[in-house]
Amino acid sequence: MKLTAAQLPALLGSIPAWRHDPARGGTITREFRFRDFAQAFGFMAQVAVQAQGSDHHPEWSNVYNRVRVTLTTHDAGGLTTKDIELARFMDRVAEALALQQPARAP
């Protein structure tokens, strides 16, 4: 069920790196930046498994080490708790990757 205007502020406050856009009934967007393409694609692979498992899929694009993500629930015509949960999952995966060892020099 689409989140109400009264529910949004507290939930958006829990994902401060995401930007809310009221277009299309409500979306959230974040750009992730990784060490390199391998790490960006590793992030996308982990998120893809999660998305498939929960049947909730991101809109995203990748250029080298950057992954730009927009989340919304198409079926509901706006934001739902599924978007907030997927955003939190992405934040956790990106944070874990950022803590990894630097790549070895070539």
Contacts with ligand H2B by CB under 6 A lie at 55-57, 73-75
Instruction: Using the minimum distance from each CB to ligand H2B, give the nearer residue, 21 or 75.
Output: 75
Report the alpha-carbon distance of residue 38 to residue 88 in Å, rounded.
22
What single-letter DSSP state applies at residue 52?
H
CB of 87 to ligand H2B, least distance (A): 11
Q: Is residue 19 a contact partner of residue 30, using CB atoms and an 8 Å limit?
A: yes
* Smallest distance, ligand H2B to C-beta of residue 48, A: 12
CB of 71 to ligand H2B, least distance (A): 6
Nearest CA among 56, 19, 62 for reference residue 38: 62
Closest to ligand H2B by CB, 66 vs 74, is 74
| Beta carbon nearer to ligand H2B, 35 or 57 | 57
Return the ∠ at Cα 94 (arms to 48 and 4), rounded to 5°: 75
Tell me the three state secondary structure of residue 45.
Answer: helix
CB of 56 to ligand H2B, least distance (A): 5
